[in-house]
Chain A
Amino acid sequence: MTAGPGRPDQGVFDVAVIGAGIVGAAIARELSGCDVSVALLEARDDVGDGTSKANTAILHTGFDARPGTLESRLVARGHHLLNAYAEATGIPVEHTGAVLVAWNDEELRALPGLKDKAEANGYGLCRVIGPEEVYRDLPDLAEGVLGGLTVPGESIICTWTTNLALATDARQRGTTLLLNHRVTAVEQGEGTTTLHTSAGDVRARWTVNAAGLGADRIDRLFGHDRFTVTPRRGELLVFDKLARPLADRIVLPVPTSRGKGVLIAPTVYGNVMLGPTAEDLTDRTDTATSEDGYEFLLAKGERLMPCLTAEEVTAGYAGLRAATDHPDYLIEADPHRRYLLAGGIRSTGLSAGLAIAEHARALLEEAGLALTARDDLPDPPRMPNIGEAFPRPYQDAGLIARDPAYGTIVCFCERVTEGEIRDACHAPVPARSLEGLRRRTRAMNGRCQGSLCGATVAALRERHHAHDVCSSRPKDRP
């Protein structure tokens, strides 16, 4: 193998990044912007299939972070970076703004402090408002609102497209994406680290650990013992699109001594989301929803916005956050082992991802990795739009005229066309499973949950069976 932009030199990569979630993909993309070869290793068969796929999909300003922390700084910076990146790549974002709603005296009294905290975090646009103004913006809230705090910069974003854009961008810049590569052991050699994986060895000079829920395990393979990940399950309910007029902005709870509470948020797909719960688990794969979770959320929803819970539920799911015993992000370089940890990245990692990547790059450079920016970078990818705020292919007369596949709607609930399914199967980071297709196109994610289109989508996926260098065997059927 010859050395060149992004190619490993004699089978040894300059950097191996473990974990192709938002953080890992962002770091691989950042490093591939320099003159180094990068491998992005993912244990699962798709990018963004762990903590990154199931969060509340809010692009945070960082107004409520703990001032002075790394998290505060990186979320604030990441918010700006991701807004710009979304604009450049077509990641669906809607600047809906948010309102923290106070329902009791304790919450009402907390609002001015939260405004001060936002300012300490560098966010100066919050305003304390009275109940009339809250109801003007959110007339369907239950009775009993005492006041609110506006956070106009909070936005909703498509977390799936974000992850895909970053991974696609990394690949276009030369990153080698290695799916189904679960790291099982680490061997440190003179100048080279060998990562033993479920799909063979990968050798690299430097290693970045962005393994999310598995970051503590990988960290121990490198000889450290500094933190433990506790999977914190968050269950969410997604309501029918017909409920969307009820919530045109994010309704945030006021954080109190009893935790962060439950939010109501519109989604970029045109639904309304209620959640999350917060429950510490030991099983790092348990993404089941629970009876208690549903009951809790529906009771909360009933108190916040009774007409919302009267609507049909489109989906219920659970995500696992990589909570740790550490109060801040844990991003540290270990020059001796040529190793960098990006751990303890909670749900804010979606907002902070691009800033984390910048920060990681600086730390690696400081630790001795030579990183020269390239001047021959390809343009960032233009991602297929799956958001409701922007024209979708089924609405685009010119596109359909050029290619009638965009005029054939396959998934009726979500209005996904045959052309989009075909494209997702042949994309630079293609869909290999029906789950992967769901995240790339929204197919089967609607109110009928694939009852009408599931068989057709499965047939299309087989017809457009993906072949690419990082492809694995398609594994599922409907």
Chain B
Amino acid sequence: MDFLQLAVKTGIYALMAGTLVFALGVVTLKNLFHAALSLAAVLIGTAALYLAFHAEFMAAVQILLYVGAVITVIIFAVMLTEHIAERSILQHNKQSLPALLGVLALLVLIGKVLLKTPWPVNPSTLDARVSVSDLGVALMGTYVFPFEVISILLIGALIGAVVIARKGSHP
């Protein structure tokens, strides 16, 4: 049992590490198409992590929505602007160093806080299984208002996106 746990543990850490590597790829790869594929890899890795948390539905949604829809849209956009994206020109601006230092500082500061903080653990939720019906009840019951707000936001944003992207809406 120890070995299995250790194996799972190691697998999860490896997953996290791989995800982080792909995440680095997302921000550093020159080819934007590759970056988009890296993002897909990151999202898939995240979905795998969700499975480890027993959030199977979320994992499914992650795969369907993100990898299926968002990544498709992104790659579509990359394709549309390909001849620029494909050019082997500088893909990063001049503020890489300050950004890197800032991010490192952020990591150090927040990491320290995270490690110091004694996180309370609710034993009842630990290892609890959340079924799809529970989520549905929560969405339509307790969180129906945010759900509706998000719905309206989604509708408005999609209409707006269509209006903005439409040909001839700009001079």
Chain A partners chain B: no
